[in-house]
Amino acid sequence: MVPEQLTKQFDHANKKTMIISAKTSLVGVLGNPINHSLSPTIHNAALQEMNLNWCYLAIPCTSENLETALKGLKVINCKGLNITIPHKIKALKYCTEISSIAQEVNAVNTLIPNKANGWTGDNTDVKGFLAPLISAKKYKYKNVLLMGCGGSAKAVIAGLIQLNVESIVVINRSKESLYTFLTDIDQNYIQNNCLSSKPKINGISLKDKDISEYIKNSDLIINATPIGMMSKDFDQKVPIDEKIWSNLKSGTTLYDLVYNPRPTKWLKIGVKKDCKVIDGLDMLIAQGAESLSLWSGIKDIPIKKMREAAELHFANIR
């Protein structure tokens, strides 16, 4: 590679070049898998618009290496990190400070370097999750079915509590993680009396029960698993199995946290059944903009540029 190629990064959204120099700082996202991530695309578009000499990278990191990676990135003066699948819960224990919302959710998606030479854990997924729901005209939901109980599902629960839904049924593949998840929610919200009105929250292990009735009776169904995501294990799959979605009622809202591919196979089924569908792109942009604001201290984040960069990415792969 010639030196010029090494020092210039082409920005597709703006058709300008972003110069990486000796003064460029690092920001990025840690996860596994990470190849599907659109975060570098939207963040680098925003950084260029903001004239910030930072570069955002997708950094593959296994669970075993998470602690070492976080320590190393802190030492080399990384300006901020996003944390994604499957590290949002584990990363909590490597934070020396934790924001109140991250304590409530008990998961982090944003790390900010602090003066005590450690990371402050925060969570912008709650705001991100709510963004497309509260911008829609109708966002009064009663009965919610939530698939998955990992790090992002915790933020979804916090968001649903803010929306004052009446009941939430959480379904998951493994009984053990479902039990831990429900115990955690019980301790965080119910025992601490954090709620003015309490939604009824129940858990169902997929091995134990047929969930057809819940699909029929829910007005909002959320996929917080990676199923459907563009990666070798999940691409072109639908949560649970295809047959069960014949129970969908028209008018039900399907919200897939997965944003790549766009739309996912599950959302295509929803469109055919006359459901309202929301993909994960609005959430990605809203949580990303909030993270960037926390790292930079700048309130006015160029959200429009972030969206343009994402739309262009999808237009180019069509």
> From the CB of residue 178, how many other CB atoms can be counted at a distance below 10 Å?
21
Binding ligand NDP (rule: CB under 6 A), the pick from 61, 227, 275, 309 is 227
Residue found by looking up tokens 């602690």 in the block: 67
Burial 282-310 (b: 16+ CB within 10 A, else e): bbbbbbbbbbbebbbeeeebbbebbbbbb
Q: Does 106 bind ligand NDP (CB under 6 A)?
A: no
Whether residue 276 lies in the annotated active site: no
Q: Does 226 bind ligand NDP (CB under 6 A)?
A: yes
Distance CA 285, CA 304 (A): 9
Q: Does 283 bind ligand NDP (CB under 6 A)?
A: yes
Binding ligand NDP (rule: CB under 6 A), the pick from 105, 158, 185, 257 is 257
Q: Does 156 bind ligand NDP (CB under 6 A)?
A: no
Q: Does 66 bind ligand NDP (CB under 6 A)?
A: no
Binding ligand NDP (rule: CB under 6 A), the pick from 40, 80, 150, 261 is 150
Backbone φ/ψ region at 274: left (φ over 0), alpha (ψ -120 to 50), beta: left
Residue found by looking up tokens 């006359």 in the block: 274
Q: Does 82 bind ligand NDP (CB under 6 A)?
A: no
**How many helices (H) does the chain have, and how many strands (E)?**
11, 14
For ligand NDP, the closer of residues 202 and 251 by Cβ is 202
For ligand NDP, the closer of residues 24 and 32 by Cβ is 32
Peptide bond into 33 cis (omega under 30): yes
| Residue 121 dihedral angles phi and psi, to the nearest 5° | -85, 135
For ligand NDP, the closer of residues 51 and 244 by Cβ is 244
HEC profile of 195-224:
CCCCCEEEEEECCCCCCHHHHHHCCEEEEC
Distance CA 164, CA 159 (A): 9
* Cβ atoms of 162 and 238 closer than 8 Å: no
Q: Does 177 bind ligand NDP (CB under 6 A)?
A: yes
Peptide bond into 263 cis (omega under 30): yes
Binding ligand NDP (rule: CB under 6 A), the pick from 27, 52, 112, 229 is 229
Binding segment for ligand NDP among 6-14, 110-118, 210-218, 220-228 (CB under 6 A)? 220-228
For ligand NDP, the closer of residues 114 and 183 by Cβ is 183
Q: Does 102 bind ligand NDP (CB under 6 A)?
A: no
For ligand NDP, the closer of residues 52 and 258 by Cβ is 258
Binding segment for ligand NDP among 192-200, 211-219, 280-288, 298-306 (CB under 6 A)? 280-288
Whole-number Cα distances in Å, 209 to 200, 292, 311? 18, 42, 39
Q: Does 125 bind ligand NDP (CB under 6 A)?
A: yes
Binding ligand NDP (rule: CB under 6 A), the pick from 41, 44, 48, 152 is 152
Q: Does 173 bind ligand NDP (CB under 6 A)?
A: yes
For ligand NDP, the closer of residues 161 and 224 by Cβ is 224
Binding-site ranges for ligand NDP (CB under 6 A): 84-86, 88, 125, 128, 148-153, 172-174, 177, 224-227, 229, 257-259, 280, 283-284, 287
The residues annotated as belonging to the active site are: 88
